Amino acid sequence: MANPALDSKLPPFTLLDEPLLCFSPSDPKQVDVHPLRGLVNFGPYSKGSFGGYTSRVRIATVGPESAFRRRGELMASLRNRHEPSDRTEYVPPYPGFEMLFRVKLEAAPRDAHIKWPDSLSQFPGNGGPEAGLFQAMDAALRRLDTLRNDFDVVLVHFPDSWVSATRAQFFDAHDALKALGAKYNIPTQVLNDRVFTFSHTASRAWRLSTALYVKAAGTPWKLAPLKGVPADTAYIGLAYALRGDQRDAHYVTCCSQVFDMDGGGMQFVAFEARDPVSDVAEARRNPFLSRDDMRAVLARSLELYQGRNGGNLPKRLVIHKTTAFKEDEIEGAYDALAGVPEIECVEVGTASRWRGVWLIDAGRTTPPSKPSGYPVPRGTVLVRSGNSALVWVAGNAPEVSSKGDYYQGKKSIPKPLQLIRHAGSGSLELTAHEALALTKMDWNNDALYDPVPVSIRYSQRLARTIANVPDLPGNVYPYRLFM
């Protein structure tokens, strides 16, 4: 006779508060859970310091000559007010660049606007359209480098008709441009044709204006203090890349970025591993560093933190990456961070097979509950073991909606992030709350949150660029150059 099925229960779940964003370094009352609403009500976090050294953001442009006027009209539209026509429960009216950021948006002088031919075949040089486009980008940034005092950000337009060259098998114009921008220390904003015809003008204005402000060295918001997070906590995001042809790659590049406890990012570290990969097949699935290389990259990252904090070490350091930590990596971390009292190594997995359905009162006795029309709340945490937890960073966030419930994207049943702590101790709910908060620190969009913490997103961005541009030097770079 078969044994009867045993009752089983999931452990209790926790609902985390939506993390607050801070819009002033001195006034603790200037906080909001909603990034755009906070900007409208309080202005950007750096309004005092940014406006103190410049009263304007100046835009240079590069692109086909035939679209020169359209690029100018697009920039002029950012000065105007726009009413939202999509996501109206979330997107507030856009008040205009100067009213929003407290500085003017202006066109750079005439010499800082470079007009390309309308056809790729008209570019000089040999080697095909990709080579011609790359040479044109290099020439444009080299010329603008001589005019560096005349602009803050360069708008670069790749028309859709050039897609065969901008996204070729072995060439990505976006990543190549970011690498060139790093070479010349010039922040760039890429445009395609869709931006000119995008019908939701308020959303377009929010996204473009925030990106331009950040790339001009402004800070729109930071994280307000999280309850329970010790003072002098810092975060490091790690992502790995195999340079060039991955079938023949034997050295890993580690991309690292350090974040203060308020989510403010410092510089990227692109570190060239010295120890060759012994198992290339495994490295393609899960790139990793040797103990010596992990010690070296974290020591270099720690130097950035100390340089920004008067030589002081953090009292707690949380390291994020999307793959499991090898034992050598953990040992290398402890070697480099011997002066840091608390260290956590946290794997942030995005491929969880878990799903959740939020049940609400059915208004009757049988059955007493029914599925909600919205997913589980954002910030739902389910602790699975002493070192593993699930956290839903995508989910219902009614605090940011003018109409009640709000699910960003409104598609599919969200899956949680899986957090696995490979080293360290303490509350997993706190670790989850930190990850939840860091999803709100990607300044390159107007959304409430990113699917992963910014510690993961930014380091992945540099890793992707390195993978597509193998000759980018391993160096230290301002993060805004790769946004």
Give the pLDDT confidence of 9-45 residue by residue, as tens digits.
777 889 999 999 999 999 999 999 999 999 999 999 9
> CA-to-CA distance for 152 and 273, rounded, in angstroms?
34
Write the CA distances from 76 to 69, 103, 150, 278, integer angstroms.
10, 14, 18, 55
For 55-64, 106-115, 407-416, which range has the lowest pLDDT when averaged over its residues?
Answer: 407-416
Do residues 345 and 319 touch, judged by C-beta distance below 8 A? yes
Is 1 contained in some domain?
no
- Predicted local confidence at residue 12, as pLDDT: 84
273 and 238 in a single domain? The answer is yes
Same domain, 190 and 328: no
For residue 380, is it within any domain? Answer: yes
Q: What is the pLDDT of residues 220-272, one digit of tens each?
A: 999 999 999 998 999 999 988 776 555 555 566 788 888 888 888 767 888 77
Residue 12, in any domain of the structure: no
Structure tokens at 353: 């097979």
Same structural domain, 383 and 408: yes
Share above pLDDT 70 across residues of the chain, in percent, rounded to a whole number: 94
193 & 290 share domain: no
* Residue 170 shares a structural domain with residue 313: no
Q: Are 37 and 20 in contact (CB under 8 A)?
A: no
Do 303 and 411 fall within a single domain? yes
Mean pLDDT of 386-392: 95
Name, in order, each residue with C-beta under 8 angstroms of 273's C-beta and a sequence gap of 6 or more.
251, 252, 253, 254, 289, 290, 293
The answer on pLDDT for 275 being more than 80 is: no
For all residues of the chain together, what is the average pLDDT? 90
Residue 17 lies in a domain: no
User: What's the rounded mean pLDDT across residues 396-402?
Assistant: 95
What's the pLDDT tens digit per position in 352-362? 889 999 998 88
Domain boundary pick from 215, 236, 259: 215
* CATH number of residue 195's parent domain: 3.40.50.2300
pLDDT, average across residues 414-421? 96
Better-scored residue on pLDDT, 278 or 295: 295
125 — pLDDT class (breaks 50, 70, 90): confident
Q: Are residues 79 and 133 in the same domain?
A: yes
Range of the domain at 419: 224-482
Domain count, the chain: 2
State whether 295 and 430 are in the same domain.
yes
Is residue 106 in a domain?
yes
Report, as an integer, the average pLDDT of 88-108: 97
The residue out of 215, 249, 264 marking a domain boundary is 215
Least confident of 242-246, 327-331, 422-426: 242-246
CA distances from 215 to 65, 225, 243, 353, 475 (A): 24, 25, 27, 37, 19
Q: What angle in degrees, to the nearest 10, is found between the helix axes of 291-308 and 327-336?
A: 40
Q: What is the DSSP string of 284-339?
A: HHS----HHHHHHHHHHHHHHHHHHTTTPPPSEEEEEESSPPPHHHHHHHHHHTTT
Residue 284 has what pLDDT? 67
pLDDT greater than 80 at residue 278 = no
> pLDDT band for position 1 (50/70/90)?
very low
Tell whether the model's pLDDT for residue 468 goes beyond 80.
no
- Position 91 in a domain: yes
Does residue 184 sit in the same domain as residue 96?
Answer: yes
